[in-house]
Amino acid sequence: MEKGTYALVMSLKSEATIAVGRLGRSYGTGGENEITFPAGYYVYFGSARAGLYARVGRHLKREKRSHWHIDYLVQFAEVVEVWYSPEGEEVEWRERKEVKGAGGVRKKECLWCQVGRGMPQGQILIPGFGSSDCRCPAHLIYFPSPPSFELFRQMLDERGYGAQKASPIEFKRRIVD
């Protein structure tokens, strides 16, 4: 069981209105919370305290019970890349400006998300998406065109951290190996 941090890079070919648990606007009497996601690319940042490969593998499955915000989006969007770092999620940031998670613990996924927000064209469209356990504005970043892994990795390198990239198929092979 390996700890780690990951980012799912997803492509949404056309606009979709998706009911996302308790997040979003409620319409009608069904209590469903619908959010309109414009076409484009989305990067979701997360962590796994015990089982990086199992957690990402679960996200890559189409058929599953929806538990996290991301579970609703991956039913409509195609995961095209997985960015990941199989290491501890708690880090001491080398930056003065810190984003703290639940209980004041600094989480690497929050650092990764902060880097993602700083990339060209990166935008938060859905406040609170994926960040219910930390103080980040969201853990889902929207890009109108494909985000650059090379730029992301360079921005992490400048902070003393690294990341790897795999296609979903390559990542699934690592689960089996």
| Average pLDDT of the residues of the chain | 82
Write down the residue that tokens 């599953």 correspond to.
64
% helix, strand, coil for the chain, step of 5: 25, 30, 45
Residue 39 phi/psi, 5-degree rounding, is -60, 150
Give the SS3 label for residue 108: helix
103: which DSSP letter? G
Confidence (pLDDT) at 83: 96
Residue 165 phi/psi, 5-degree rounding, is -130, 145
Q: pLDDT tens digits for 85-122?
A: 987 444 444 443 444 444 444 578 899 999 999 999 99
Model confidence, pTM: 0.84
- Does 177 score more than 70 pLDDT? no
Question: Residue ranges per domain, the chain?
Answer: 4-176
Residue type, 177: D
**Percent of the chain with pLDDT strictly greater than 90:** 45
Q: pLDDT tens digits for 27-53?
A: 554 555 788 999 999 999 998 887 888
Distance of CA 67 to the CA centre of its chain: 14
Closest CA to 48 of 167, 171, 142, 173: 171
- H or E element in which residue 46 lies: strand 40-48
19: its two tokens:
């009911």
With b for 16 or more beta-carbon neighbours within 10 A and e for fewer, the 156-166 pattern comes to beeeebebebe
Highest mean pLDDT of the ranges 19-23, 131-135, 141-145: 141-145
